[in-house]
Amino acid sequence: MAPESKALTTRVASGSPYQLDQSQTLKASSALLKHISSESNRKAAVSSTTNLLNTSSDILDVEPVWLSLTTKKHIVDRHRLKPGKIPLPHSLNQSPTTTICLISCDPQRQVKDTIAHPSFPTALSSRITKVIGLSKIKARYKSFESRRQLLIDHDVFLADARVITMLPKILGKIFYQSPKKPIPVSLEPYKQTNASGKRVTPKAADENTKTLAPPLQMAKEIEKTVNCALVHLSPSNNTSVRVGYSSFTAQQIADNVEAVVAGLAGKYIPQGWRNIRAIHVKGPNTMALPIWLADELWVDEADVLEKEEELAKQSKIMANQVNRKRKERPLDREADGDAGVVTNRAKGEEATDGEKKKRRRVEETDLSTEIRERREKLREQKKMEKANMHGLEKAT
């Protein structure tokens, strides 16, 4: 009996198809968290040694949940060291024990005084365990070991947006190959309207100082940055964003997924939903669970070629490849169209126009036949793979 056909994802009942189905997202999040929990328990049961310093909740906290988004075309054309930020309804750094290192512009004393101000929230200032200026980093953290120790001592690194572009050369690969890349935060005061009606940033009274936001505004910007998901774009058709941990509930994961997808489609992905091919959620060592799949594999209708145009294009490409290979041979082999006999022509002798036309007709006929056979073979392979996939889904 043939296996029943079952869709991998569901479509929304009404409205645009370019949106997530909340029930599908929640279902995938629940299944993923359940699998991560069962795998952790299984590994703990079969393990011969037990770490007495770790509890079950600690083990779950180190398992991140990722959103994997695949596009039809490349998202960007170059690497970007400065990450993007998307606000999350459920913060990834909500633990009160999370330590923050703030990298500021010189002089650092201004930032320290602002954080120590009575109006600055105490809950946030207690988490900022270190404030260091750019010049102090250059002087104190020259060696690889010192920078590695700095990376280990703190959970989150924030940097003034005015110095964020200088940090890759100073901090090196130990920071920028880790998940703790410095996150830009705006420490400048908000722009104000001057007498001419233009919005300008207030200037510092002294040339040796920088303009800084007041305590409440700085605390608001730091809190907003800490509660964001980071988007690291690279020249590829896939990007992954951390949306939670295995200690989160399925509803929290689903809420964060919806917020990240909306932010990516609206700000970072060219052509938005039309350029999205698939969206999955996964753990570090799990299979990716689909929550949205596109019906078409193209962005614009102009990208779709008719069957005859596609066949002619493929024939031309393959003919060029054959001709290039024949030019590299010491002997030129040509087909006699009347007798069907293949003869060898010595190098240096040129074929007549009639012989070239006959050879071209034979090559085009053979290539067209080969392309049709390959297309039929691919169709059969796709049908078999689809049937096997449905069979596996039914079995699970």
User: For the segment 132-147, what is each residue's pLDDT rounded down to a tens digit?
Assistant: 999 999 999 989 999 9
- The residue type at 52: L
Q: HEC string of 178-228?
A: CCCCCEEECCCCCCEECCCCCEECCCCCCCCCCCCCCHHHHHHHHHHHHCE
Over the stretch 217-244, which tens digit does the pLDDT of each residue have? 999 999 999 999 988 887 888 899 999 9
Task: Locate all alpha helices (DSSP H) within 264-306, ordered by sequence.
Answer: none
Asked if 70 and 278 touch (Cβ cutoff 8 Å), the reply is yes
Taking each helix axis as running N to C, give the angle between helix 250-263 and helix 22-46, from 0 to 180 degrees, rounded to the nearest 10.
130
Residue among 359, 377, 364, 366 nearest 312 (CA):
364
Q: In what order do the strands lie in the sheet with 156-160?
A: 128-133, 100-104, 156-160, 183-185
Which are the contacts of 76, defined by CB distance < 8 A and separation ≥ 6? 233, 234, 235
Each residue's pLDDT expressed in tens, for the chain with a length of 396 residues: 444 545 555 555 444 567 888 899 999 999 999 999 888 888 878 775 555 555 444 444 478 999 999 988 887 766 677 788 999 999 988 888 889 999 998 888 989 999 999 999 999 999 999 999 999 999 999 899 999 999 999 999 999 988 988 898 999 888 888 888 899 998 888 876 666 767 666 666 566 667 888 889 999 999 999 999 988 887 888 899 999 998 899 999 999 999 999 999 888 888 888 888 899 999 988 899 999 988 877 666 555 555 556 666 777 777 777 666 665 554 444 444 444 444 445 444 555 666 666 676 766 677 777 777 877 888 887 788 777 766 666 665
DSSP character string of 331-392: SEEEE-TTT--EEEE-TTPPPPHHHHHHHHHHHHHHHHHHHHHHHHHHHHHHHHHHHHHHHH
The pTM (predicted TM-score) of the whole model is: 0.66
Query: Could you give the CA distance from residue 24 to residue 384 in angstroms, rounded to a whole number?
Result: 26
Q: Which amino acid is at 2?
A: A
